[in-house]
């Protein structure tokens, strides 16, 4: 098992904790992690931009002028992309699908590799516990300012739905808070540090290492 320092809310090292080797001590496969991260980005992508082609714009049912004899270029519709108010050529369409299906085993392996990379680079901060007197952003900022992740982007993984902590971290720009059971490869890679209470390790093991 890998061992990392155990911190309290004051940023003091209170001891060491052993991490499950099958989760936090895997060799990195850049190709696998990249493939899973790209798929998760695609699954989150919202297709907003959508242009109209020549078949979508109104009008253009009648041929503008006869084929020959006018001296002008041939034209079949006034809604050609060459015309004003015509359709758009090769524009973005809402029918595009970016979603990709990735097997659960691959997603799980990529997550474990991302977690292992955090341990290897000393970007994992494990707390004995984290509690706030009340849901307040200022209190959460005070806790973060005492940890090794001070000033850096961080992802906090909680063992359960602790609404006071989630509300306290909601307005902090470089922090995201979620439950440990919802961890995924993309979120772990997006943030430099991963912060979690000791209890979250058990949740990760029970959720993903079945």
Domain residues for the domain of 41 are 2-45+102-208
Same domain, 59 and 70: yes
Same domain, 53 and 135: no
pLDDT digits (tens, 9 = 90+) for 139-168: 999 999 999 988 899 999 999 998 999 999
- What pLDDT is recorded for position 203? 93
Crossing angle of the two packed helices 30-44 and 104-120, in degrees rounded to 10:
110
Q: In this model, does residue 11 exceed pLDDT 60?
A: yes
Pull the structure tokens for residue 65.
Answer: 């002028």
Same domain, 194 and 114: yes
Same domain, 27 and 107: yes
CATH code (residue 200): 3.40.1370.10
Neighbours of 103 (CB within 10 A): 9
Per the structure, the count of domains in the chain is: 2
Same domain, 26 and 70: no
Q: Cβ distance 114 to 185 under 8 Å? A: yes
- What pLDDT is recorded for position 28? 92
Same domain, 80 and 183: no
pLDDT digits (tens, 9 = 90+) for 84-119: 999 999 998 888 888 888 899 999 999 999 999 999
Same domain, 123 and 157: yes
């Amino acid at each position: 098992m890998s061992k990392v320092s155990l911190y309290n809310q004051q940023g003091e090292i209170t001891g060491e904790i052993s991490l499950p080797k099958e989760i936090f001590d895997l060799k990195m496969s850049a190709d696998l992690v990249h493939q899973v991260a790209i798929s998760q980005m695609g699954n989150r992508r919202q297709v907003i931009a959508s242009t109209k082609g020549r078949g979508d714009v109104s009008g253009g049912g009648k041929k503008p002028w006869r084929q020959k004899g006018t001296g002008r270029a041939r034209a079949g519709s006034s809604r050609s992309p060459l015309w004003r108010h015509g359709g758009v050529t090769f524009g973005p369409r809402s029918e595009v699908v970016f979603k990709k299906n990735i097997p659960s085993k691959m997603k799980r392996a990529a997550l474990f590799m991302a977690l292992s990379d955090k341990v290897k680079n000393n970007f994992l901060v494990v707390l004995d516990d984290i509690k706030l007197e009340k849901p307040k952003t200022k209190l959460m900022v005070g806790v973060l300012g005492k940890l090794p992740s001070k000033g850096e982007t961080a992802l906090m993984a909680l063992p359960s739905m602790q609404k006071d902590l989630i509300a306290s971290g909601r307005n902090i720009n470089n922090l995201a808070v979620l439950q440990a059971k919802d961890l995924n490869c993309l979120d772990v890679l997006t943030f430099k540090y991963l912060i979690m209470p000791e209890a979250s390790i058990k949740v990760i093991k029970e959720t993903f290492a079945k």
